[in-house]
Amino acid sequence: MASGDNREAEINPSEVVASPFQSFLNDLHLKYQSLRDGKVATYIPELAKANPDLFGICAISLDGRVFEVGDCHQLFTIQSISKVFVYGMVLEDRGRDYVLSKVGVEPTGDAFNAIVLDERSKRPYNPMVNAGAIATTSLIKGAGPTERLNRMLDMFRRYIGHSDIFIDISVFMSERTTGHRNRAMAHLMHHFGMIDEKIDEAIDLYFQQCSLMVNCHDLAVMAATLANNGINPITGEQALDSSYVKDILSVMYTCGMYNFAGEWAYKVGLPAKSGVSGGIIVVVPNQIGIAVFSPLLDERGNSVRGVKVCEELSRHFGLHMFDLAMGRCKVVEMLSNPKKL
């Protein structure tokens, strides 16, 4: 199901650090728990079953400390957040020049599922919208569908840090049954030579990546891995060649929040990616990874509570990229000053 059963926590509750930062997350969760704005996604029928009251916030520092509150171990499908990590995989597989010849890096101002390509190059605009993500997924190397899927799952395992990962078949079938718009994009891109003739294989793999089951804690580990230059801070495993981290973060910063990307960059000012199941990941480079989960979405497909939480975190701790550049970030100070709550 779209929200699944709770996965047993991978951490001992005693390992969650008591600190001013944890206290601030607790207060944020309490403040926005009663917010009921937005609606759960319904265009994929299985996602309409999500519980709108679910709400979790998790942050993980580069030394592996965990700060979390709420429904951080409730499973849900990763949806569009998967695009970030598949993009990194394809950069490793094909190299940035080849990938750039097939998928651009420009923000669109259009909805994430718009059927539109760059008029000049005929490429999809960027890998964070559906058309670009389908083209990106089609570039995963492998001898056949099974090998490509297994390579993709192994990539996600390195980011998440445990082997208990799986695809929700009911969501996959729901997407596959209703995904005609995505198929239209794929056929249009095939017409212009952006993807090859294996259209059905590419679409199925794209639906499978979006149907991967994760929780808010998993997403925070994944965000922290990007913040840690591609090294998982929990396991120490290299999930991505560090030379490609800047490529991913650049596209997340300009394109990761759909047609809200400009306002997000203005207010929050951090690389981020959202998904229509209600997740948002945020990367504070060289410091911390943040994830928020709440299925109530605004009209652009972003979590309403998630956006509010991230705006407050950025403002309070000076996390905006230009605050960071000017040395005004306060999160390191808060993380290094644990105290009893």
Active site residues: 80, 83, 206, 258, 276
295, 41 Cβ separation under 8 angstroms: yes
Torsion angle in degrees (nearest 10) through CA of 234, 235, 239, 241: 90
User: How crowded is residue 298: how many other Cβ atoms within 10 Å of its Cβ?
Assistant: 16
Residue 337: partners with Cβ closer than 8 Å, 6 or more residues away: 19, 20
Closest CA to 47 of 208, 278, 304, 218: 278
Query: For the chain, what is the total number of helices (H) and then of strands (E)?
Result: 14, 7
- Rounded distance between C-alpha atoms, residue 297 and residue 316, angstroms: 24
Torsion angle in degrees (nearest 10) through CA of 249, 256, 277, 83: -60
- Rounded distance between C-alpha atoms, residue 159 and residue 333, angstroms: 26
Q: Is 36 helix (H, G, I), strand (E, B) or coil?
A: coil
- Rounded distance between C-alpha atoms, residue 24 and residue 316, angstroms: 10
- Rounded distance between C-alpha atoms, residue 82 and residue 222, angstroms: 10
Strands 66-70, 213-214: pairing is: unpaired
